[in-house]
């Protein structure tokens, strides 16, 4: 999979891909992540990227030309399965969306700043708009990292069996059950007997029941 990320602040996104699982995915060639500094497409001597909104109002708007030029340069080089604009106005990211995106080859992510981007960028290029939750970030960069992380970890070969994505929260529509490791007792708190029993059928039943219990308590909406 190839992910191209367009941003005013690409340096903000470097470290998540330079550590641990994402780093290994990139090193193994399972994921390619390319950053594109929008400033290089800015207008005039000062490489201007934003301007005041028509009709007035607070905040600046990212101009159409720099984004259009950057996006067009990329789309002339390869076909993109999705051109995604990260915005609070988008559909809320969930595991189903991550699963769907993880079987695509080329994704482009556009990070907005200020009040957002000129509507014509969306009309011309954007195929999908995604939000990472009902709150507003200073820009789309951290949202792009969240989206890329959720997708890259699902690519075949990125996680090993022990880290398998198949047992994640949400993959079966349920939150994960409690988990324990050594010691068997800590400050009076004991690991549930069933997990020490070696009876794998019983353990699976307990895990499922706990997952249903926790999901019912915390996220009953997921059970619908
Ligand atoms: N940009 C600013 N806030 C955002 C959010 N919640 N999700 C995605 N992109 C954003």
CA dist., res. 31 & res. 21, Å (int): 11
For the stretch 113-136, pLDDT in tens is 878 999 999 999 999 999 999 999
> 209: how many CB neighbours lie within 10 A of its CB?
11
For residue 217, name the pLDDT band (cuts at 50, 70, 90).
very high
CA dist., res. 4 & res. 17, Å (int): 13
pLDDT > 90: what percent of the chain?
92
pLDDT at position 162: 67
CA dist., res. 140 & res. 112, Å (int): 5
Residue 167 has pLDDT above 90, yes or no: no
CA dist., res. 203 & res. 7, Å (int): 47
Question: Ligand 1, from 86, 111, 113, 144: best to mutate by most atoms within 8 Å of Cβ?
Answer: 86
pTM over 0.75: yes
**β-strand pairing of 32-37 with 82-92:** unpaired
- Asked if 124 and 118 count as a contact pair (C-beta separation under 8 A), the reply is no
Atom of ligand 1 nearest to the CA of 112: 1
Mean pLDDT on 60-75:
98
pLDDT at position 164: 78
pLDDT at position 59: 93
pLDDT at position 156: 95
Residue 23 has pLDDT above 70, yes or no: yes
DSSP state of 139: S
pLDDT at position 82: 98
**Fold of the domain built from segment(s) 167-223:** 1.10.1270
Determine if ligand 1 sits within 6 Å of the CB of residue 132. yes
Mean pLDDT on 160-180:
85
Residue 169 has pLDDT above 90, yes or no: no
**Boundaries of every domain in the chain:** 2-152, 167-223
Atom of ligand 1 nearest to the CA of 87: 9
- Asked if 2 and 34 count as a contact pair (C-beta separation under 8 A), the reply is yes
**Fold of the domain built from segment(s) 2-152:** Alpha/beta knot (3.40.1280)
């Amino acid at each position: 999979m190839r992910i191209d990320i367009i941003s005013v602040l690409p340096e903000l996104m470097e470290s998540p891909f330079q550590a641990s699982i994402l780093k290994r995915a990139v090193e193994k060639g399972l994921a390619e992540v390319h950053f594109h500094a929008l400033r290089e497409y800015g207008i005039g001597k000062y490489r201007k990227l934003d301007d005041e909104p028509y009709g007035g109002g607070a905040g600046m708007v990212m101009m159409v030309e720099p984004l259009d030029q950057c996006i067009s340069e990329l789309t002339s080089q390869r076909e993109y399965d999705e051109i995604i604009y990260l915005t609070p106005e988008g559909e809320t990211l969930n595991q189903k969306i991550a699963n769907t995106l993880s079987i695509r080859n080329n994704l482009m992510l556009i990070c907005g700043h200020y009040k957002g981007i000129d509507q014509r960028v969306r009309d011309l290029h954007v195929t999908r708009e995604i939000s990472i939750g009902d709150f507003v970030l200073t820009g789309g960069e951290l949202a792009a990292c969240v989206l890329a992380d959720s997708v890259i970890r699902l690519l075949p070969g990125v996680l090993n069996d022990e880290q398998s994505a198949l047992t994640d929260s949400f993959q079966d529509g349920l939150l994960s059950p409690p988990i324990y490791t050594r010691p068997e007792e800590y400050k009076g708190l004991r690991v549930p007997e069933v997990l020490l029993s070696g009876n794998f059928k019983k353990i699976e039943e307990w895990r499922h029941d706990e997952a249903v219990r926790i999901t019912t308590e915390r996220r009953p909406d997921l059970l619908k």
